Structures are given as structure tokens and as C-alpha cells.
Amino acid sequence: MEKFARTLLVLITESALEKRLIADSQRLGAHGYTVHDVRGGSRLSTREALWEADRSIELKLICSPEVADAIAAHVMATYIPHYSLTLYFASVDVLRPEKF
């Protein structure tokens, strides 16, 4: 079975950013996305998802390394200064490369 290398970019952030992040990532070349509602915390704060303003999401994007880099650079420049945001990359193999 032939596999194709792609990058998984995961963004964990405040749910208030969901619409903007999806629009930004599609504009920068992502073909699709997956969103989960999540909760979590750090040494600095806890986001327990108890009510609207406390909700967090995990946004997953599988795309080419170039697109993942472009999205991450945009997110770092635009949102990191004022929002709770964690992002990381992982290498993944996919089967239908045209989908990503």
C-alpha cells in the first residue's frame, strides 16, 4: 500500500477563535479540518469548559508541510499574543494525498 507523507498541525485554543482559525487555515491552503471540544489546563490556568467563555477546542489539520508552516506562522503572529494557544506538528502518512 502506497503511503504519502503529510503534516498534522494541532491547535488547542479558546473556542472563541474557532471560526477565525478555520477561515484562516482554509485561506492559507488547508483542505479540511477536524474540531473537538476539549478541556485542560497548565500551571498558569485551567480551562474546565464549564460554561461558554471557558470552552476550548482542539483543531486538527492535515496538510502539506508548507501549508502547515504558513498556518502556524500566521497563528503565531496573529493570535499568540492575546489568546491561550498551544500548537504542535506531527508527521503522518495518508492514503489519499489529493484530500490533503
Partner 1 sequence: MIDVVVLFFLLGVFARLVKSDLRLPEPLYETLSIYLLLAIGLKGGIELSKQPVLDLLPQMLACMALGFAIPLVLTPVLRLMGLSRVDAASMAAHYGSVSVVTFAVASAYLAAQGVPAESHAALWVALMEAPGIVAGILLARLGAPSRPGEETQGVNWRELAHDVFLGKSVLLLAGGLLIGTLMGEAGTAPIAPVFLVPFKGLLALFLLELGLVAGGRLGELRRYGVRIVGFALVAPPFLAMAGALTGWALGLSLGGVTIMATLAASASYIAAPTAMRMAVPEANAALSITAALGVTFPFNIVLGVPLYLEMARWLVSGA
52 binds partner 1 (CB under 8 A): yes
Sign of the CA dihedral running 57, 62, 63, 66 = positive
23 versus 73: smaller Cβ distance to partner 1: 23
53 binds partner 1 (CB under 8 A): yes
Nearest to 36 by CA among 13, 68, 64: 13
* Cα–Cα distance for residue pair 92/100, rounded to 1 Å: 11
Q: Could you say whether residue 38 binds partner 1 (CB under 8 A)?
A: no
Relative orientation angle of helices 65-78 and 18-27, to the nearest 10 degrees: 140
Binding of residue 54 to partner 1 (CB under 8 A): yes
Minimum Å gap between C-beta 50 and partner 1 is 5
86 sits near partner 1 (criterion: CB under 8 A) = no
Least Å from the CB of residue 30 to partner 1: 20
Q: Grid coordinates standing for 72?
A: 502556524
- Do 8 and 92 meet the contact criterion of CB atoms below 8 Å apart? yes
Using rule CB under 8 A, residue 50 touches partner 1 = yes
Residues that bind partner 1 (CB under 8 A): 14, 16, 20, 37, 45, 48-54, 79, 81-83
